[in-house]
Structure 1
Amino acid sequence: MKKSAYKINIIGAGISGLIAAQILENHGYHPTILEASDSVGGRVKSEMIKGHNLDLGFQVLLTSYPAAKKYLNYDALDLQKFLPGAAIFKDGKSQTIGDPLRNFSLLIPTLFSSIGNFSDKTKILKLNTILKKKTIHEIFNTDETSTLKYLQSFGFSKEIINDFFKPFFSGIFLEPDLATPSRMFEFVYKMFGNGFAAVPKNGIQEIPNQLKAKLKNTTFKFNTFVKEVKDKEIILDNGDKIESHITIIATDASPLVSNLKNQETTWTSCDTLYFETNERVIKKPLIGLIADENALINNIFYYTSLPSSNKTDKDLLSVTVVKNHSLNDLDLILKVTEDLKILCGIDVKKFIKHYKIKKALPATTNLQYEISSSETKLKSTLFLAGDQLLNGSLNAAIISGERAALGVIQTLEDGFITDELTSEYS
């Protein structure tokens, strides 16, 4: 049976699904991707609204991700890098801190910042040194605790935890209490230290767009809603059935597979709101952190502090909310606007868009960096992919997609697909 004749279906055109398709193509297979939306990307998407290219949630690429470096062409993405620091808003004032060893302009403001005491600053240098030497393998084999307990046990003061670590990493983990396992903290901290946070000039959507453009023998079926996945059959919402020799579920599989119904992935959620403002209170490409435990907003960023493809010269501000709330859309906008004025001195000119992201990141425990091909196999005809298998990151999404595809290839090459399927197309 020719490789191109196998009916290999991938559910989900997110990062994992696109990588899986690429690996399959590289080995001579012609997969089909079934995607519920009208475009690729999954949770990594952008859209043009009122002249602004808006990412669906504040997202960055950490350039030191090993898997991202393997599969993405950074030069073609035209990455725009953040400065390695942050502007911290506290008591109505803003202070800048950062890594002066990587950007000298951050030396003076960091030295004169009141964020953290002298002991805290020496401990940050110590933590930097420890994690630069610690391998990724060692990080993911370290006993887990919460990120908050990790920072406390390291000896950081309550002040620097509340003023810097909590707003910064809450914005990454999308939960306000730093309950995320410490393995993830160490991994992300190491990635920040080894590279830069960056966004493509044309928006985060350029990442999946680039992956899609590489695919030459993959069929895409958009606006295709999958209801259930069986052994050799995919059932769509409209009742249609698709024969499938092998299926890769590159999304949350629990709603689709009967014996996974009680194994649903837990997700963190967040709100991202975009505004036009009268002027930028943060002039440089720095993330803004809100060091007030009573504030609803967690972090802000001016996309117009970086070169972008926006079709307007108006300043674009993103605001991230990670705390749970029961506010309706209008009240949320009013509350965020109030926080911006009182806490940051920002006058909002125009509201642009609100994204309520219910499934922003998988809230997993016992985090892992790697997964073997065999571990992605649910049965000989069904494989799983997605960052929820490992840890909530683009890096994990890439690895899981790669491993699932390699698992499919190994299964086919070892002849584990039944004889009648082979004889049908021989």
Structure 2
Amino acid sequence: MEKDLKIAIIGAGVSGLIAAQVLEANGFSPTIYEKTDRVGGRVKTDIMDGYQLDHGFQVLLDSYPMAKKYLNYEDLALQKFLPGAFIYNNGKKVVIGDPLRKLSLLFPTLTAGVGTLSDKIEILKLNTELKKKSIETIFEEKETTTMDYLKNRGFSNEIIDLFFQPFFAGIFLEEALSTSSRMFQFVYKMFGTGHATLPKTGIGAIPEQLHNTLKTTKIVYNTALVSCEDGKLFFKDGSTKRVDFIIIATEGSGLVKNLRNQKVHWKSCQTLYFTTPKNKDTRPLIGLVAKTDAFINNIFFHNTLSTENSGSDELLSVTVVKNHELSESELITKVKNELQAECNIGDVSYLKTYNIKKALPDLKAITASISPTETRLTDAIFLAGDYLVNGSLNAAMLSGENAALGLIEVAKGKSL
């Protein structure tokens, strides 16, 4: 029965690849239809002039439960960031971090002049609380905005403005920190119980590894779907295909009639890559620009981590979260000026810009999980994607797994 069923997965991103892996483990052989020329979706890496350029500055939090379940960390050769950050403020650079996890960060954190003593005590309390709190409990708590949550805990305006706001604006891709306090606690817990990491060959190594585990799944590239209904796929080239089941592992609102009014809203960002002759500080720490009206949100020198492709100079990424109407050339000039003024980085050569219009789903309601039955849209169509749960790689994997389990439950029920 499993071999005879025709199962289509739309999209070869992380959700689609996980769904295929779960289906294979249960005896099925699905076909993935991918509109681009490779796997990965929003998680990709390009090689340009000998440098690894991820599609946006991304990290893997190695404490994600689903990442632990489905990824082989050793084969990914994960490179760890230090648990802290550079803070650029008024042309000066200081370091703050978690000395409980990296003792060398104790002295620079104490002397950084960022936040009060009570801020540092409250951070330690928050770390301890979240380590003990389960993910399920976090997502069941009363919800507020991240900004209100931080203020209600008694953090000073200084520590919010100089650290929490720029750091989490870069994660949530919005400057007001209006993102749910549940999401803040979840992400903070993941940072506190593990490490931010990058595979040695770039973030695109994650979907590549998932792809390489597949044995009986067929992937059809450069094939765009325009719509689907129970039992039938309609492609952009005018062709159609009959199938038994469909997993839509991408935004489904434009593909299925009864999702027309449920369009996903997205947050965007831009990542600009530059090269620079040298970087004196080799500590792998993200850099946060604390000036409230700055275009730059964060920077990172990628060669502070071990990379497979490192080029001849230092690679610098700059992330812009702020909404604007500048042309690309105007943005490059603006960023270069801010790198000089705010970070004292002047000798840079522009490499490439990634305009990421669908970087994160903009969700008003978020959850810790989704059950297999909740992924079922119709008798034969299932949905997968982080937009169904929360905006994270963990959620993308979880939704892919549960969409496949939901399909398997229905398929085996029909065979009885």
Q: Into which bin does the TM-score normalised by the smaller protein fall?
A: over 0.9
Match of 2:86? 87
TM-superposed CA distance for 1:400, in Å, is 0.2
TM-superposed CA distance for 1:366, in Å, is 2.1
Unaligned runs of 5+ in 1: 418-426
Distance in 2, matches of 1:298 and 1:105, equals 25
Counterpart of 2:364, as a letter, is T
The reply on whether 1:227 has 2:226 as its aligned counterpart is yes
TM-superposed CA distance for 1:323, in Å, is 0.6
Residues 376, 407 of structure 1: 8 Å contact kept: yes
Match of 1:69? 68
- 1:189-235 CA distance string (max 9 Å, x none): 00000000000000011000000000000000011111001111110
The reply on whether 1:324 has 2:338 as its aligned counterpart is no
Match of 1:122? 121
TM-score normalised according to structure 2 size: 0.99
| Structure 2 SS opposite 1:48 | strand
TM-superposed CA distance for 1:311, in Å, is 4.6
Distance in 1, matches of 2:411 and 2:327, equals 51
- Which stretch of the first structure deviates more once superposed, 86-95 or 280-289? 280-289
Residues 281, 346 of structure 1: 8 Å contact kept: no
Match of 1:404? 403
- Which stretch of the first structure deviates more once superposed, 235-244 or 88-97? 235-244
Residues 276, 315 of structure 1: 8 Å contact kept: yes
Residues 289, 298 of structure 1: 8 Å contact kept: yes
Q: How does 1:211-360 map to 2 (within 5 A)?
A: 211-280=210-279, 282-360=281-359
Unaligned runs of 5+ in 2: none
Match of 1:367? 366
Flag the 1:295–1:8 CA change in 2: closer, same or farther, 3 A: same
Counterpart of 1:271, as a letter, is Q
Distance in 2, matches of 1:313 and 1:156, equals 43
| Structure 2 SS opposite 1:68 | helix
Residues 386, 396 of structure 1: 8 Å contact kept: yes
Residues 275, 348 of structure 1: 8 Å contact kept: no
Distance in 2, matches of 1:177 and 1:223, equals 38
Distance in 1, matches of 2:379 and 2:74, equals 39
Distance in 1, matches of 2:376 and 2:211, equals 24
Match of 1:142? 141
Counterpart of 2:381, as a letter, is L
- 1:101-155 CA distance string (max 9 Å, x none): 1111101100111111111111111111111111111001011111001101111
Residues 380, 416 of structure 1: 8 Å contact kept: no
Counterpart of 2:111, as a letter, is F
Residues 44, 205 of structure 1: 8 Å contact kept: yes
TM-score normalised according to structure 1 size: 0.96
Match of 2:77? 78
Residues 275, 348 of structure 2: 8 Å contact kept: yes
Counterpart of 1:28, as a letter, is G
| Structure 2 SS opposite 1:100 | coil
TM-superposed CA distance for 1:281, in Å, is 5.2
Counterpart of 1:389, as a letter, is L
Residues 14, 250 of structure 1: 8 Å contact kept: yes
Match of 1:422? none
Flag the 1:197–1:311 CA change in 2: closer, same or farther, 3 A: closer
Counterpart of 2:185, as a letter, is E
| Structure 1 SS opposite 2:40 | coil
Counterpart of 2:170, as a letter, is G
RMSD over aligned Cα atoms: 1.0
- 1:215-268 CA distance string (max 9 Å, x none): 000000011111001111110111110111100000000011111111101100
Distance in 2, matches of 1:189 and 1:282, equals 26
The reply on whether 1:379 has 2:378 as its aligned counterpart is yes
Distance in 1, matches of 2:146 and 2:409, equals 38
Counterpart of 2:304, as a letter, is S
Match of 1:179? 178
Distance in 1, matches of 2:194 and 2:284, equals 16
Distance in 1, matches of 2:26 and 2:347, equals 52
| Structure 1 SS opposite 2:348 | strand
TM-superposed CA distance for 1:348, in Å, is 3.7
Distance in 1, matches of 2:196 and 2:10, equals 29
TM-superposed CA distance for 1:11, in Å, is 0.2
Residues 11, 249 of structure 2: 8 Å contact kept: yes
Match of 1:23? 22
Q: Which runs of 4+ in 1 moved over 3 A?
A: none
Distance in 2, matches of 1:398 and 1:58, equals 19
Match of 1:60? 59
Counterpart of 1:176, as a letter, is E
Distance in 2, matches of 1:178 and 1:303, equals 26
| Structure 1 SS opposite 2:264 | coil
TM-superposed CA distance for 1:157, in Å, is 0.8
Counterpart of 1:212, as a letter, is H
Match of 2:390? 391
Match of 1:421? none
Distance in 2, matches of 1:27 and 1:136, equals 28
Match of 2:199? 200
Counterpart of 1:7, as a letter, is K
Match of 1:49? 48
- 1:259-301 CA distance string (max 9 Å, x none): 1111101100000000001322542000000000010000000
Residues 282, 302 of structure 1: 8 Å contact kept: no
Match of 1:6? 5
Residues 82, 286 of structure 1: 8 Å contact kept: yes
Residues 144, 366 of structure 1: 8 Å contact kept: no
- Which stretch of the first structure deviates more once superposed, 378-387 or 126-135? 126-135
| Structure 2 SS opposite 1:379 | coil
Distance in 2, matches of 1:349 and 1:359, equals 28
Distance in 1, matches of 2:145 and 2:347, equals 36
TM-superposed CA distance for 1:330, in Å, is 0.5
Residues 8, 32 of structure 2: 8 Å contact kept: yes
Residues 269, 357 of structure 1: 8 Å contact kept: yes
- 1:57-96 CA distance string (max 9 Å, x none): 0000000000100000000000000000000000100000
